[in-house]
Amino acid sequence: MNGMFFSVLGLGFVLGLKHALDPDHMAAVSTIVSESKSMKRSSLIGTFWGLGHTISLLCAGIVVIALKVQISERIASWMEFGVALMLILLGIRAVLKPLRGWKLHVHRHTQMVVHTVMCMSTAQAKTSTNIAI
């Protein structure tokens, strides 16, 4: 093998690292990995996410090179839209996850006090608000 092969391979590796550290990847991976409390499980999830991403890009690259296909601007825009949609859904999921298990309980007392209790599961703290009317 000649030096050109290793140069191209090294350049691909460096560009892949740059791609992996882009904000969209960092947001997606950190959101997915942070769901697990275990360092081992988080590492495994991150590893498989990276492998899946690499294999998909490799397959797409092989198709583009072997079939000499060009990805049009329109298709590229739809792919970017898909990425944006995925990031929005991951963000919504990350925001809603801490709110799971919360219940809002409102009732009136005979003294005309509205009592609102927002509570989580029984193992977690309770927050209450009393408003006199």
- Residue (of 119, 106, 115) closest to 133 by Cα position: 115
Bigger pLDDT: 36 or 123?
Answer: 36
The pLDDT score that the predictor gives to residue 66 is 92
Lowest mean pLDDT among 12-16, 59-63, 119-123: 119-123
Concatenating the DSSP letter of every residue in 76-103 gives: HHHHHHHHHHHHHHHHHHHHHGGGTT-E
CA 42 – CA 79 distance, rounded (Å):
27
pLDDT in tens, 82-113: 888 988 888 888 888 777 777 666 666 666 65
CA 126 – CA 119 distance, rounded (Å):
5
Average pLDDT of span 70-86: 89
The pLDDT score that the predictor gives to residue 123 is 44
pLDDT at 49 over 80: yes
Residue with token string 């090179």: 65
Q: What is the largest CA-CA distance in the chain?
A: 88
Most confident range (mean pLDDT) of 9-18, 45-54, 71-80, 94-103 is: 71-80
pLDDT at 20 over 60: yes
Q: Tell me the pLDDT of the chain averaged across its residues.
A: 78
